[in-house]
């Protein structure tokens, strides 16, 4: 991964319909999104020049914006085309893709109905989210202090910038304690997700995952559930309590950045990446690779 800071790179960013040199893609310090978190975004990956489930992500971006009471003024097809264009312009085939939409600086205050809505798309080389040497051994997760909020108090179904504040705090704390990430509970104290990935558990060959009603039901999550069922695995979406963690055999997390990553430890609970996890790591790798699918 490049050691350059993200504001000082060569390349191009798609910004409100124009290709802008990377270092010139700027916003004003009084941009509403910076002060009031009025921004939504997506995290996507391109494999072999193909952005995996691009339209699903574009649709979710627009829906997240509607939840935050604004409309992204580009269609799903236009956003898909822009992502493909910026990938090609930067000469990347395997890359991370980050579209972000936000309220601009016309009004400063909580109320901002007339602010211009902006959209930018950046792409960059981003290999495995976790240390490759540790990834297949199973990463270590801390247990976060903060909990995912009650969906009656926050727009939990949007991929909104403000919802990640407690994720950053929790991940920083986990990393200081020597963990790769943190598991978060929901507002009622039940297992929810990690700071940027959904979580799955395996017991006696059956896969269990929390019901996604107070956190984002990830596109990777849905993909992995589908892949698991197609391979004959039973997948149960249910409430999972913290006291159950010691009863599971395997654990893994899913997300665009994490892909499918085995977990070896959550706080005091140990897991051993096994056959189910290995099968889904392989299945997902095959699913996202256009060369494999074409063959």
How confident is the model over 150-205, as pLDDT tens digits? 999 999 999 999 999 999 999 999 999 999 999 999 999 999 999 999 999 999 99
pLDDT confidence bin for 144, thresholds 50/70/90: very high
Under 8 Å CB-to-CB from 165, ≥6 apart: which residues? 37
In terms of Cα–Cα distance, which of 88, 114, 94 is closest to 103?
Answer: 114
Catalytic residue among 159, 171, 203, 272: 159
User: Does the annotation mark 159 as catalytic?
Assistant: yes
pLDDT attached to residue 136: 72
pTM above 0.85, yes or no: yes
Fold of 132-294: D-amino Acid Aminotransferase; Chain A, domain 2 (3.20.10)
pLDDT attached to residue 1: 44
**How remote is the C-alpha of 62 from its chain's centroid?**
16
- pLDDT cut 90: percent of the chain above it: 92
Distance CA 117, CA 93 (A): 29
Mean predicted lDDT score pLDDT of the chain: 94
Across the range 74-82, mean pLDDT stands at 98
Distance CA 45, CA 95 (A): 6
Per-residue pLDDT tens for 235-289?
A: 999 999 999 999 999 999 999 999 999 999 999 999 999 999 999 999 999 999 8
| Coil, helix or strand at residue 190 | coil
Say if residue 291's pLDDT is above 70.
Answer: no
Cβ-contact 83, 44 below 8 angstroms = yes
- Burial of 42 per CB tally in 10 Å (0-12, 13-18, 19+): buried
Cβ-contact 156, 149 below 8 angstroms = yes
Distance CA 90, CA 59 (A): 24
Fold of 12-124: D-amino Acid Aminotransferase; Chain A, domain 1 (3.30.470)
Cβ-contact 236, 265 below 8 angstroms = no
In terms of Cα–Cα distance, which of 77, 97, 100 is closest to 88?
Answer: 97
Distance CA 94, CA 12 (A): 16
Element holding 91 (H helix, E strand): none
Structural domain boundaries in the chain: 12-124, 132-294
pLDDT attached to residue 155: 95
């Amino acid at each position: 991964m490049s050691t350059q800071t993200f504001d000082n790179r060569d390349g191009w960013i798609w910004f409100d319909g124009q290709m802008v040199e990377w270092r010139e893609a700027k916003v004003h310090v009084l941009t509403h999104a910076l002060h009031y978190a009025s921004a939504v975004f997506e995290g996507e990956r391109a494999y072999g020049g193909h952005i995996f489930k691009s339209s699903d992500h574009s649709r979710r971006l627009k829906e997240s914006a509607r939840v935050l009471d604004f409309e992204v003024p580009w269609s799903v097809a236009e956003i898909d085309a822009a992502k493909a264009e910026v990938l090609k312009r930067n000469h990347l085939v395997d890359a991370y893709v980050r579209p972000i939409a936000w309220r601009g600086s016309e009004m400063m205050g909580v109320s901002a109905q007339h602010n211009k809505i902006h959209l930018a798309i950046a792409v960059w080389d981003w290999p495995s989210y976790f240390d490759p040497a540790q990834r297949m051994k199973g990463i270590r997760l801390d247990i976060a202090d903060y909990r995912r909020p009650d969906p009656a108090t926050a727009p939990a179904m949007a991929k909104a910038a403000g919802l990640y504040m407690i994720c950053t705090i929790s991940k920083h704390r986990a990393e200081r304690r020597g963990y790769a990430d943190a598991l978060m509970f929901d507002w009622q104290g039940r297992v929810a997700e990690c700071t940027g990935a959904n979580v799955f558990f395996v017991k006696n060959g059956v896969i269990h995952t929390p019901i996604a009603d107070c956190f984002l039901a990830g596109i990777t999550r849905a993909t992995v559930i589908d892949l698991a069922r197609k391979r004959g695995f039973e997948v149960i979406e249910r409430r999972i309590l913290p006291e159950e963690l010691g009863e599971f055999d395997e654990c893994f997390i899913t997300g665009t950045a994490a892909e499918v990553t085995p977990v070896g430890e959550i706080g005091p609970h140990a897991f051993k990446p096994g056959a189910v996890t290995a099968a889904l790591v392989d299945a997902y790798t095959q699913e996202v690779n256009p060369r494999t699918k074409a063959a």
